[in-house]
Structure 1
Amino acid sequence: MSREDWQQQIDEFIDELNTVRRLSPHTLSSYRRDLEKFAQYCNSINIAHAELALSAHVRQWVAAQFRQGASGRSLQRGLSSLRSFYKYRTRKGSQHNPALGIAAPKSAKKLPKALDADSVGQLLNIDTDNWIGLRDCAILELFYSSGLRLSELVGINIHDIDWGDALLTVTGKGNKSRSLPIGRYAISALQAWLAVREQVTPADNALFIGNKGQRLGQRAIQLRLKKHSLVQGMNQNVNPHMLRHSFASHMLESSGDLRAVQELLGHANISTTQVYTHLDFQHLAKVYDAAHPRANRSKKSSK
């Protein structure tokens, strides 16, 4: 059979998606691109017809794509296109679907970006000569001090702060509450903010409010953080998650206590916390040298 057999089969399938399911041109293009990639691979190994392709060929194609740098998401989409194509063919009388039961490799989780301590200090050195500056300073200090999620910070009310013990109670995912320590810089910034908060008549007990007295929303905080990262001459736009990750990274690098960081971040599973860890090799090597009884990695002349 010639190469046109694959092309004709793909054309018929795409035509049905267009006329019967009325999919968008963009979706049709994605289906066609995925199927033609598979057809090209099959032709390269002398598989000239859809009925001749086996599960082993699909696995080999997925592996080849993965080695060439295709992401797990891209491969999953390609397999989905193949399964749909062969499902269409079974409705036309075929009993063959070699893509069933084949999973794509998972993409490696991308580590969130973190700021080093100097960059955090640069970001937090903002102008506080008005109430907005004082509010924003308190927001940034609290973010970094306690490793908050954006939704947690937005939900804080004044009575959630225990000034005596310098603790903050927040409600995280799954409506679970946890208490977090507040650092002295954040305490000072919060006190300075609360001293001027009444200049704008608050609508409720929200800790952070806008110029109309309403609770400050997530989008507003994101934009304020972006603004300050630009004003402070940062070489990147800083978002709330970067401050949370910076908190986790700096805590872990200083303490090495993954369980404690897990509790502070409010993660149900420690595997989630591990995504936030990216200790550099030098730090790991120092810990190893200091802790392992048989490390002996100090410079010694070999015998």
Structure 2
Amino acid sequence: MDATQLLSIWLKEREIQNQSRHTLHAYERDVSDFLNFCETKKLDLANIETTDLREYLAYKVEQQQLSSSSLQRMLSSIRQFMKWAEQGQYLAFNPADDFQLKRIPRPLPGMVDIETVNQILDQPAPEKPIEQQMWLRDKAILELLYSSGLRLAEVQGLRIKDIDFNRQLLRITGKGNKTRVVPFGSKARDAVMKWLQVYPLWHGDFVPDANVFITQKGSPLGARQIENRVKLQALRAGVNVDLHPHLLRHCFASHMLSNSRDLRAVQEMLGHSNLTTTQIYTHVDFDHLAQVYDQAHPRAQVKKS
């Protein structure tokens, strides 16, 4: 069986595992490009060595000026494919297994302080009735983004049946169709309940599968519309910040970690499959480190007389 056929089988298995269409397309592009390079070099899949992989990545940098993050993504695709091929005994060993690229530290996401977030969320409603209704919808969106660290697509796809007001829990469908249950705060609960009082006026039917956030015509609110409304409400509050949904997700993660120090819990709420993804939100708090050190280290404690 040739490499192209193996790639087709691997992609089919990934599709069965509910990998997103975007991810599958990236896998296919990255691995196909590498296999085409090997074919040009007259290399069979079984004979590929680490030096061939290094030559390919150097070629990609030279030809396309790829960034470090793009190279890491390509290497990850190739490594996963070859690991699968090795496990299926199509390969004697995986030359990509121990191959590593030097990682560039990920930049810390932009941040907005708590006072600024409160200024946006607690701003007074507009005077005109229709703008008041829009504000109630937008405030519910803003509160959920900050209260639960939701992604833009997760807010957009939220259904009425996904909200448990009694226990203040949301059932979220995230990346790869993975579901998780996250809490939301009392202010977010109140904001959503006030918005749902307006909901029927916008031709929205209270059916379990209906989208929570809709337009005035009753159709589901689009991603770009949500982004624009978030920016608008920041401007209306007089805040000089380019506010977008993902920035509020960053704020949620950072503020939660600052107060709880519980990285695992924040990882679960964000829906990160890998803890290292969550770790970009950890800030070095030297006062806290000194306090922990003084309390925990046996040679830091002052002996009582």
TM range (shorter): 0.5 to 0.7
Report the Cα distance in structure 2 between the residues aligned to 1:170 and 1:152, rounded to whole angstroms.
Answer: 7
Q: Could you tell me how far 1:293 is from its partner in structure 2?
A: 3.9
What residue is the counterpart of 2:279 in the other structure? 274
1:109 and 2:114 are equivalent in the alignment: no
1:168 and 2:173 are equivalent in the alignment: no
1:8-19 matches, within 5 Å, as none
Given that 2:257 and 2:281 are in contact with CA atoms closer than 8 Å, whether structure 1 keeps it comes out as no
What residue is the counterpart of 2:121 in the other structure? 124
Structure number with the bigger relative contact order (C-alpha 8 A, sep ≥ 6) is 2
Given that 1:72 and 1:106 are in contact with CA atoms closer than 8 Å, whether structure 2 keeps it comes out as no
Q: Identify if the C-alpha distance between structure 1 residues 281 and 209 changes in structure 2 by more than 3 Å, giving closer, same or farther.
A: same
What residue is the counterpart of 2:193 in the other structure? 191
Q: Once structures 1 and 2 are overlaid, which stretch shifts more, 125-134 or 158-167?
A: 125-134
Report the Cα distance in structure 2 between the residues aligned to 1:252 and 1:74, rounded to whole angstroms.
Answer: 28
1:222-237 matches, within 5 Å, as 222-237=227-242
1:211 and 2:216 are equivalent in the alignment: yes
Which amino acid is the alignment partner of residue 131 of structure 1? Q
Q: Which runs of 5+ in 1 are unaligned?
A: 1-61, 63-70, 78-101
Compute the RMSD of aligned alpha carbons: 2.8
Given that 2:68 and 2:103 are in contact with CA atoms closer than 8 Å, whether structure 1 keeps it comes out as no
Report the Cα distance in structure 1 between the residues aligned to 2:241 and 2:255, rounded to whole angstroms.
Answer: 19
- Count how many residue pairs are aligned between Structure 1 and Structure 2: 206
Q: Could you tell me how far 1:163 is from its partner in structure 2?
A: 1.3
Report the Cα distance in structure 2 between the residues aligned to 1:261 and 1:153, rounded to whole angstroms.
Answer: 18
Instruction: Could you list the structure 1 runs, at least 4 aligned residues long, displaced by more than 6 angstroms after superposition.
Output: 74-77
What residue is the counterpart of 1:177 in the other structure? 179
Q: Identify if the C-alpha distance between structure 1 residues 166 and 104 changes in structure 2 by more than 3 Å, giving closer, same or farther.
A: closer
Given that 2:294 and 2:300 are in contact with CA atoms closer than 8 Å, whether structure 1 keeps it comes out as yes
Q: Could you tell me how far 1:242 is from its partner in structure 2?
A: 1.2
Q: Once structures 1 and 2 are overlaid, which stretch shifts more, 282-291 or 121-130?
A: 282-291
Report the Cα distance in structure 1 between the residues aligned to 2:169 and 2:277, rounded to whole angstroms.
Answer: 24
1:73 and 2:73 are equivalent in the alignment: no
Report the Cα distance in structure 2 between the residues aligned to 1:75 and 1:271, rounded to whole angstroms.
Answer: 15
Which amino acid is the alignment partner of residue 228 of structure 2? L
What residue is the counterpart of 1:155 in the other structure? 157
Q: Could you tell me how far 1:75 is from its partner in structure 2?
A: 11
1:141 and 2:143 are equivalent in the alignment: yes
Given that 1:114 and 1:246 are in contact with CA atoms closer than 8 Å, whether structure 2 keeps it comes out as yes
TM-score, normalised to structure 2's length? 0.61
Q: Could you tell me how far 1:232 is from its partner in structure 2?
A: 1.5
Given that 1:172 and 1:266 are in contact with CA atoms closer than 8 Å, whether structure 2 keeps it comes out as yes
Report the Cα distance in structure 2 between the residues aligned to 1:75 and 1:227, rounded to whole angstroms.
Answer: 32
Q: Identify if the C-alpha distance between structure 1 residues 272 and 201 changes in structure 2 by more than 3 Å, giving closer, same or farther.
A: same
Q: Could you tell me how far 1:230 is from its partner in structure 2?
A: 1.7
Which amino acid is the alignment partner of residue 242 of structure 2? N
Q: Which runs of 5+ in 2 are unaligned?
A: 1-57, 59-64, 72-98, 127-131
Given that 2:202 and 2:216 are in contact with CA atoms closer than 8 Å, whether structure 1 keeps it comes out as yes
What residue is the counterpart of 2:262 in the other structure? 257
Q: Could you tell me how far 1:159 is from its partner in structure 2?
A: 1.0
Q: Could you tell me how far 1:287 is from its partner in structure 2?
A: 3.4
Q: Once structures 1 and 2 are overlaid, which stretch shifts more, 145-154 or 230-239?
A: 230-239
Structure 1 SS opposite 2:170: strand
Which amino acid is the alignment partner of residue 269 of structure 2? L
Give the share of equivalent positions with the same residue, in percent. 49
Given that 1:127 and 1:133 are in contact with CA atoms closer than 8 Å, whether structure 2 keeps it comes out as no
Report the Cα distance in structure 2 between the residues aligned to 1:187 and 1:180, rounded to whole angstroms.
Answer: 13
Report the Cα distance in structure 2 between the residues aligned to 1:140 and 1:109, rounded to whole angstroms.
Answer: 26
Given that 1:111 and 1:276 are in contact with CA atoms closer than 8 Å, whether structure 2 keeps it comes out as yes
Report the Cα distance in structure 1 between the residues aligned to 2:101 and 2:232, rounded to whole angstroms.
Answer: 40
Cα deviation code 1:112-153 (max 9, x no counterpart): 112221111012123435110000111101111111111111
Report the Cα distance in structure 1 between the residues aligned to 2:253 and 2:216, rounded to whole angstroms.
Answer: 32
